Chains A and B, each alone.
Chain A
Amino acid sequence: MSHRVRVNPIACEAHGMCAELLPERITLDEWGYPLIDGAPLEGEQVEHAVRAARACPTFALLVERERSARRRR
Chain B
Amino acid sequence: MSDVPSTITEPLDAPPAHGDVPALPRLLAGVRRDGEPVSLDQHLALHGPPPAIRGERRSGRERAAALIDEIQLSGLLGRGGGAFPTATKMRAVADARGRAIVVANGAEGEPASTKDRTLLELLPQLVLDGTILAAEAVGADEAIVCVCESAGAGVQSVERAIEERAGERSPPRSPKLQLRTVPSHYVAGQESALVNYLGGGPARPTFTPPMPFQQGLRRRPTLINNIETLAHIALIARHGARWFRQLGTPTQPGSALVTLSGPVNHPGVYEIQHGASLASVINAAGGPTTGVRAALTGGYAGAWIAGQSLRGLALSNEHLAAHGASLGAGVVLLLSEDACPVAETARVARWLAGQSARQCGPCTHGLDALASTVEQIAAGNGHAHAAQRIDRLASLTARRGACAHPDGAVNVILSALEVFAREFADHARHGPCDACRRPPDLPLPHRPVQREQALDGAPPRR
> Which chain B residue shows the least CB distance to A30?
B396
Kindly state the separation between the CA atoms of A33 and B365 in the bound complex, as whole angstroms: 10
Task: Give how many A residues have a beta carbon under 8 Å from the other chain's beta carbons.
Answer: 15
> Which chain A residue shows the least CB distance to B91?
A73
Q: Which residues from B are CB-within-8-Å of A8?
A: 207, 402, 462
> Which chain A residue shows the least CB distance to B460?
A10
Q: Interface stretch among B65-73, B153-161, B354-362?
A: B354-362
Please determine whether A29 and B362 come into contact, CB atoms closer than 8 angstroms: yes
Which of A12, A13, A29, A32 has the largest count of B CB atoms less than 10 A from its CB?
A: A29
Q: A14-B361, A31-B361 are in contact. Are A9 and B402 (CB under 8 A)?
A: yes
Q: Which A1-36 residues have a C-beta within 8 angstroms of B?
A: 8-14, 29-33, 35
Q: Which residues from B are CB-within-8-Å of A72?
A: 95
Please determine whether B396 and A10 come into contact, CB atoms closer than 8 angstroms: no
> Which chain B residue shows the least CB distance to A73?
B92
What's the count of A-B pairs with C-beta under 8 Å? 39
Please determine whether A10 and B92 come into contact, CB atoms closer than 8 angstroms: no
Q: Nearest Cβ in chain A — how far from B56, in angstroms?
A: 30
Query: Is B206 positioned at the interface, with any CB of A under 8 Å from its CB?
Result: yes
Q: Which residues from B are CB-within-8-Å of A32?
A: 361
Query: Is B293 positioned at the interface, with any CB of A under 8 Å from its CB?
Result: no
Q: A29-B396, A33-B400, A73-B92 are in contact. Are A9 and B462 (CB under 8 A)?
A: no
Q: A31-B361, A73-B92 are in contact. Are A10 and B400 (CB under 8 A)?
A: no
Q: Which of A9, A30, A73 contacts B360 (CB 8 A)?
A: A9
Q: Nearest Cβ in chain A — how far from B211, in angstroms?
A: 11
Q: Nearest Cβ in chain A — how far from B191, in angstroms?
A: 15
Please determine whether A12 and B361 come into contact, CB atoms closer than 8 angstroms: yes
Q: Which of B92, B207, B396 contacts A9 (CB 8 A)?
A: B207
Kindly state the separation between the CA atoms of A31 and B366 in the bound complex, as whole angstroms: 9
Query: Is B432 positioned at the interface, with any CB of A under 8 Å from its CB?
Result: no
Please determine whether A10 and B206 come into contact, CB atoms closer than 8 angstroms: yes
A to B CB contacts below 8 Å, 15 in the list:
A8-B402, A8-B462, A9-B359, A9-B361, A9-B402, A10-B359, A10-B402, A12-B360, A13-B361, A14-B361, A30-B396, A31-B361, A31-B365, A33-B400, A73-B92
Known: A32-B361, A72-B95. 18 other contacts (CB 8 A): A8-B207, A8-B402, A8-B462, A9-B207, A9-B362, A9-B363, A9-B400, A9-B401, A10-B205, A10-B206, A11-B462, A12-B361, A13-B361, A29-B362, A30-B396, A33-B361, A33-B362, A33-B400
B interface, CB within 8 angstroms of A:
92, 95, 205-207, 359-363, 365, 396, 400-402, 462
